């Protein structure tokens, strides 16, 4: 997510700073989507691993040219600008798929997840830089230019019409998870199954390493003595919260994650870690869950999904852990 920074999950494996031919695991890193992507591969053939990782990184960069709102000629930037024309625009399969999923999740969460908060995201980006609240007039203007209800999707051909002039799409709450899924597919096509992708803190896992039950993952951010070390494979883990990106204004801490109902950064001092079948689901539900809170997350998202949530909340100097599962 461009503006929704996922708290880093630490992989509990020891990797040397320089990879040598005799190492059991290979590590490859590149910048993409405004963050560091790392691929860890358990395979005997270093050259095969290197080529496969290169293909996966190229896929990430291709997707970034679709989803980035920093790139002025990205597909999503062009689609956002089409809002002033009120015309239907043909889109790629990738953009159509992510919009279809996003709109469905937005409806299901009553807007707790909303891919149309670009105006608000840009406003709060400036506020974090200036350490001041957005001007009330600007906030109201941005609030009027959002809403997943303004997205009209047609399947044949795959096209989108934005019915609110000035609405800006922002896939910060979902793009890295989607990219990690596609990178994992690329790795598998290249013959790599035992691997891990760290997409700026979003973790997507392939098969377990040789002679291991799974990849050992420690949840970062806010600590609690009962938070487990996770041993997982073939799933995704995403953490969202206010530990890394926030701004304090008048002694009030505002998260980088925006409450779509108020237009303000969240002030609930919490983080959530989601374990789900795919990066797409984990990334997006982590964003929605933080807005919804533990009770509504269980009611709205967990009951009908193969997902698990760890909420860590802070009140005064006390830290509480809430585990939500089906």
Question: Tokens 């625009």 label which residue?
Answer: 89
Residue 280: pLDDT band (50, 70, 90) is very high
Side-chain half-sphere CA neighbours of 232 within 13 A: 25
Whether 1 and 21 have beta carbons less than 8 Å apart is answered as no
Whether 149 and 104 have beta carbons less than 8 Å apart is answered as no
Question: Tens digit of pLDDT for each residue in 83-119?
Answer: 999 999 999 999 999 999 999 999 999 999 999 999 9
Q: What is the DSSP letter of 318?
A: E
Whether 312 and 268 have beta carbons less than 8 Å apart is answered as no
Instruction: Give the integer Cα–Cα distance in Å for 314 and 288.
Output: 19
Is the sign of the CA dihedral 121, 122, 123, 126 positive or negative?
Answer: positive
Mean pLDDT of the 309-316 span? 84
Instruction: Give the integer Cα–Cα distance in Å for 236 and 180.
Output: 9
pLDDT of 24 reads 67
Instruction: Give the integer Cα–Cα distance in Å for 294 and 198.
Output: 26
pTM of the model: 0.89
pLDDT of 249 reads 84
Query: What is the tally of helices (H) and strands (E) in the chain?
Result: 8, 16
More confidently predicted of 116 and 270: 116
Q: Please enumerate in sequence order all residues whose Cβ is within 8 A of that of 112, keeping only pairs 6 or more positions apart, or say none.
A: 260, 288, 291, 292, 296, 300
More confidently predicted of 66 and 125: 66
Q: Please enumerate in sequence order all residues whose Cβ is within 8 A of that of 288, keeping only pairs 6 or more positions apart, or say none.
A: 105, 109, 112, 113, 173, 297, 300, 301
E strand residue ranges, 172-262: 195-199, 202-205, 215-218, 229-232, 236-241, 246-249, 252-255
pLDDT of 15 reads 33
Q: What is the DSSP letter of 41?
A: E
Pick the CATH number of 1-326 from 3.10.520.10, 3.20.10.10, 3.30.300.180, 3.40.605.10: 3.10.520.10
Strand order in the sheet with 215-218: 10-11, 215-218, 229-232
> Which token pair is 280?
């797409």
Question: Tens digit of pLDDT for each residue in 194-248?
Answer: 999 999 988 999 999 999 999 999 887 777 878 888 999 999 999 988 666 777 8
Whether 63 and 94 have beta carbons less than 8 Å apart is answered as yes
pLDDT of 201 reads 87
């Amino acid at each position: 997510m461009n503006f929704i920074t996922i708290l880093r999950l630490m992989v509990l494996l020891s990797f040397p700073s320089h990879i040598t031919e005799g190492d059991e695991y290979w590590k490859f890193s590149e910048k993409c989507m405004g963050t560091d992507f790392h691929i860890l591969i358990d395979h005997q053939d270093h050259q095969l691993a290197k080529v496969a990782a290169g293909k996966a990184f190229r896929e990430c960069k291709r997707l970034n040219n679709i989803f980035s709102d920093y790139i002025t000629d990205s597909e999503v930037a062009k689609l956002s600008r089409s809002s002033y024309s009120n015309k239907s625009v043909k889109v790629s399969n990738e953009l159509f798929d992510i919009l279809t999923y996003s709109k469905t999740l937005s409806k299901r969460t009553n807007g707790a997840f909303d891919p149309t908060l670009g105006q608000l995201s840009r406003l709060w980006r400036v506020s974090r830089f200036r350490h001041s609240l957005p001007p009330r007039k600007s906030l109201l203007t941005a609030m009027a230019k959002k809403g997943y209800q303004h997205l009209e999707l047609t399947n044949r051909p795959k096209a989108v019409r934005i019915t609110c002039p000035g609405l800006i799409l922002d896939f910060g709450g979902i793009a890295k998870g989607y990219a990690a899924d596609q990178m994992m597919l690329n790795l598998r096509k290249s013959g790599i199954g035992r691997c891990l992708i760290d997409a700026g803190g979003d973790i997507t896992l392939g098969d377990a390493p040789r002679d291991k039950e799974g990849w050992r993952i420690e949840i970062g951010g806010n600590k609690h003595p009962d938070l487990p070390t996770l041993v997982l494979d073939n799933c995704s883990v995403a953490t969202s919260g206010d530990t890394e990106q926030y701004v304090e204004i008048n002694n009030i801490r505002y998260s980088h994650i925006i409450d779509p109902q108020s237009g303000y950064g969240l002030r609930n001092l919490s983080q959530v870690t989601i374990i789900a079948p795919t990066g797409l689901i984990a990334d997006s539900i982590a964003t929605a869950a933080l807005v919804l809170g533990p009770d509504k997350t269980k009611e709205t998202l967990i009951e009908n999904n193969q997902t698990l949530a760890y909420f860590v909340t802070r009140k005064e100097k006390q830290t509480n852990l809430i585990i939500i599962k089906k």
